[in-house]
A and B are shown apart, each in its own frame.
Chain A
Amino acid sequence: MVPRISAFLRFAALFGSLLPGLPRTAVAATTRHEGTPLQLGDARAAVLFFIASDCPISNRTLPEMLRVEHAFASRGVRFFFVYPNSTETAATIRDHRAAFGIGPNVLTDPGQTLARLAAANTTPEAAVLIPQGKGLKPVYVGRIDDRYLNIGTERPSPTRHDLESAIAAVLAGRPVPPPGGPAVGCAFMTLPAK
């Protein structure tokens, strides 16, 4: 149990200091992510999908991500697909988008700035952001659904659509239910030591 508690405390501290830090309209020169500006515009919420072109669980979950995007894109939610690994290139992203039908809202985040701000660490993983003051505040970070229980255990189909519930709660102005389990997939590539 000890590691669990320490992780809890560590991230509590992280959120305490970083929550308001995400700029509301976007891609500031100081961050290293590139691509579509992370702007809410008129939207009520933004959803970031952290994905990797070479991660099988991320790829198997992409149809579900696209389904959620389709269900909520016309209801005031903007969706962004974020590639957090520095191994991705323009070519891998182009091919990946074409093969899986990913739209134009794509960001690369090789310095994992966005990922750190949203406290995501896995592909696939989602973050739901809502406006707060001049910035964006994550109100949900975690798994898309419960299909994968851990890296070796997979349900035939999901029984709980955690992300979808979170988005619906945001739109309804209800408290956002937390994910019911860990995000399962591929760890982000470890950044080189500074």
Chain B
Amino acid sequence: MQLLWAVSLVFNLMAFPRTGKVHAAEVPVTYSRQIAPVLYKNCASCHHTGGSAPFALTSYAEARRWGATLDSAVASRYMPPWLPEPGHGNFADSRRLSLDEIALIHHWVDSGMLEGDPAEAPPAPVYKGEWQLGPPDLVLEVDSPMQVPASGTDLFRNFILPLPLKESKWVRAMEIRPGSPRVVHHANLILDRSGSLRRGHPDDWKQGIPGMDVVVDAGEGFDPDGYFLDWKPDSSALVEPPGMAWRLDPGNDLILNMHLKPTGKPETVRARIGLYFTPDPPTKLPILVQLEHDAALDIPAGDANFVVEDSLKLPEAADLLAIYPHAHYLGKRLKGWAVLPSGGRKDLILIPDWDINRQSIYRYAEPVPLPAGTVIHMRYSYDNSAANPHNPNSPPIRVTAGNRSVDEMGHLWLQLLPHPAPDQAGDARGPILRAWMENVLTKNPSDPTALFNLASLHMAEAKTPADFAAAATLYRRALAARPNDARMMTALAAALLQSGDTEKAREELAAATAADPTYADALYNLALIEASANQLPEALKHLKATIALEPANVDAHRGLVAIYSAQGSLGDAVREQRTVVSLAPGQAGDWNDLGVMLARGGDSAGAAEAFDRALALDPGNSAARANLSRLQAASR
């Protein structure tokens, strides 16, 4: 009897509602007439030979082989992978099958999987193994291939790809080729403007850094991330809308965050990224904004319905272009919606049964207009009970926020294109970033990143010494939360300097160089303060230290020129100025300065050549023209 029990359990398979219509009595369902079109449209982009799916569905024989499995996979909506509930956001490229299509497949399998007349089948789609948009302008490859073991839990790894760029580029399209698509479950590409992850892992970055999520340092300047750059098994090349190319600068790294799934045998993964450039800079600058409340993520063991909420009020109108809900294995029901100033409600997304294995970025079929004053909400629920099969902890344990797969997260990322008011000055992304950071501080008043960003926004808009002093106060709060952070100390020094407190600025910079002797910006700024106080030997020492860290730092070389000139060391000054023009040969002013120095040293021919270079670059450069005339007059 026990065996009978066992077998009956085998057939306790889910009874899925099948309410789609198939007019079976009228037409027999055949592969050629009804099934091939459904499979080619919805399945073949992954399920083709060489594709990311484990088997192909591009012929009658293949469809027949998989018929019974196909039937249950589409009935349970396991396939095609598509998590959002219809009616909560209208997304481009929805993969959800209609009930009629599901019923059609069921009927075909049930009635013996007839082929029908092959002449009736549409031509099978053809997929090329090459880059979908043709040869890329730049191909990057992960430094060392990763060995994925045959079995075990899923792996999350961040591969760092330094960019070999000499100048900034605009990227209009990108394709990620994961190397072994059956191992790679999804991938996100992150821009590391400052190379911070690589610098943080000097010894092991080539092997890839473990972790489901990464936080990178945005670097200097105001340039918030604005783009979702992702790959999943059914992804095609990612082409940005017109006017929305994204920028890459020399020194940037790309970080490929990959979710890898053991296949049963050892696999080797080595991803490549193809980039397509455009000469046209963007005309529209979107911004990514995050709703979250990770600090509140403290889920008791066994809690089957733990809720986290957040909301954010938009200070200006914006179009919502795409949305990315993210949780780990305990996430259950993920919901995002907007309450408009009119009081109306707009559902943005609902994922009733979250599954990280099928996470995705969802792009709206049409931009969703959100007026100024719209409040965006997220509400995520989590199941930390033993009944959640995805629970990484058995038995369940208390779970808090973190980037390991046994930790949890609750993020709702939005890609917004701001529509500033006609009289609004400055970067349109500023007010949204400010609202986001202020929202972070309402949840965690000492969040150092939010304080730092907010202070930097103050700095960008500051006009009076009092404004800079206000920025300095915010930097001090950030520093209190993250003491001895050389960059925050340097930023504080900049605010202090502009508020008029040179002495405090110098102290802060000296402390910054002590905290991190490899932070070049602190050394450089300290040298500037020393130079302006006429402390030339100290300034010289700190500029040399800057250049030891950053040999191509043109400003530091210019600083050396100034100090050598002031000290009367003309030979050293000329040598440094030659370095300046070799590093930045496009600046007419630098060539003019070189000409002046050479003329003073008696090298008339060299000076004339330098003035000529300056005038070739900038024919209207009056200083170079006057200098050249003077030189020619003197030589007559």
Contact = CB atoms under 8 A, between A and B. Distances in A.
* A and B together in one complex: yes
Contacts of B152: 157
Given A87-B65, A151-B72, A154-B389, A60 B7 contact: no
Contacts of A141: 3, 6-7, 10
Contact of A182 (B10, B65, B394): B10
B12 A15 contact: no
B151 to A, nearest CB: 4
Interface in B258-317: 261-265
B7 to A, nearest CB: 5
A11 B64 CA distance: 25
A15 B7 contact: yes
B392 A140 contact: no
A62 B6 contact: no
B222 interface: no
Given A64-B151, A156-B392, A140 B3 contact: yes
Interface residues on A, range: 35 or more
Q: Is the interface of B mostly helix, strand, loop or mixed?
A: loop
A99 B4 contact: no
Chain A CB count within 10 A is highest, among B5, B10, B78, for: B10
Chain A CB count within 10 A is highest, among B6, B8, B54, for: B6
Contacts of A189: 64-65, 68
Given A56-B263, A156-B405, A189-B65, A178 B9 contact: yes
Contacts of A100: 150, 264-265
B215 interface: no
Interface stretch (A1-9, A68-76, A109-117): A1-9
A63 B3 CA distance: 26
B69 interface: yes
Interface string B513-547: 00000000000000000000000000000000000
A58 B265 CA distance: 11
A121 B150 CA distance: 25
A149 B386 CA distance: 13
B265 A99 contact: yes
Contacts of B15: 3
A81 B67 CA distance: 23
A175 B2 contact: yes
Contacts of A140: 3, 6
Contact of A187 (B5, B69, B150, B264): B69
B587 to A, nearest CB: 57
B65 A85 contact: yes
A178 B9 CA distance: 9
Contacts of B73: 151-152
A176 interface: yes
Contacts of B76: 150-152
A27 interface: no
A177 B72 CA distance: 28
A154 B262 CA distance: 13
Contacts of A63: 150-151, 262, 264
B14 interface: yes
Contacts of B68: 187-190
A11 B11 contact: yes
B151 A178 contact: no
A58 B5 CA distance: 23
Contacts of B65: 54, 85, 87, 189
B500 to A, nearest CB: 58
A179 B55 contact: no
A36 interface: no
Interface in B1-60: 2-15, 54-55
B329 interface: yes
B307 to A, nearest CB: 22
B153 interface: yes
Contact of B9 (A64, A149, A150, A182): A182
B608 interface: no
A140 to B, nearest CB: 7
A142 B69 contact: no
A169 B597 CA distance: 93
Contacts of A29: none
A17 interface: no
Given A60-B262, A156-B154, A11 B4 contact: yes
A130 to B, nearest CB: 12
B560 interface: no
Contacts of B14: 150
A187 B66 CA distance: 8
B389 A8 contact: no
Contacts of B86: none
A59 B264 contact: yes
Interface in B460-501: none
B265 A4 contact: no
B338 to A, nearest CB: 30
A183 B263 CA distance: 18
Interface string B60-84: 0100111111001100111000000
A97 to B, nearest CB: 11
B54 A56 contact: yes
B264 A179 contact: no
B112 interface: yes
A139 to B, nearest CB: 7
B55 A156 contact: no
A159 B394 contact: yes
B627 to A, nearest CB: 72
Interface in A155-194: 155-157, 159, 175-183, 186-190, 193
Nearest to A62: B264
A59 B267 CA distance: 13
A156 B392 CA distance: 6
B615 interface: no
A188 to B, nearest CB: 8
A154 to B, nearest CB: 7
B444 interface: no
Chain B CB count within 10 A is highest, among A4, A154, A178, for: A178
A186 B69 contact: yes
Given A3-B15, A4-B11, A189-B65, A156 B2 contact: no
Interface string A110-135: 00000000010110000000000000
B354 to A, nearest CB: 12
Chain B CB count within 10 A is highest, among A7, A175, A181, A188, for: A7
A188 B5 CA distance: 21
A138 B3 contact: yes
Interface in A56-104: 56, 58-64, 85, 87, 99-101
By Cβ-Cβ distance, the 4 closest A-B pairs, closest first, are A152-B78, A187-B68, A178-B6, A63-B151
Interface of A: 3-4, 7-8, 11-12, 15, 54-56, 58-64, 85, 87, 99-101, 119, 121-122, 138-142, 149-157, 159, 175-183, 186-190, 193
Given A3-B11, A11-B4, A157-B153, 7 more contacts: A8-B11, A60-B261, A100-B150, A152-B355, A175-B2, A186-B69, A190-B64
9 contacts: A3-B11, A3-B15, A142-B6, A155-B390, A159-B394, A178-B3, A182-B12, A186-B69, A188-B68
Interface of B: 2-15, 54-55, 61, 64-69, 72-73, 76-78, 109, 112-113, 150-154, 182, 261-265, 329, 355, 357, 389-392, 394, 405
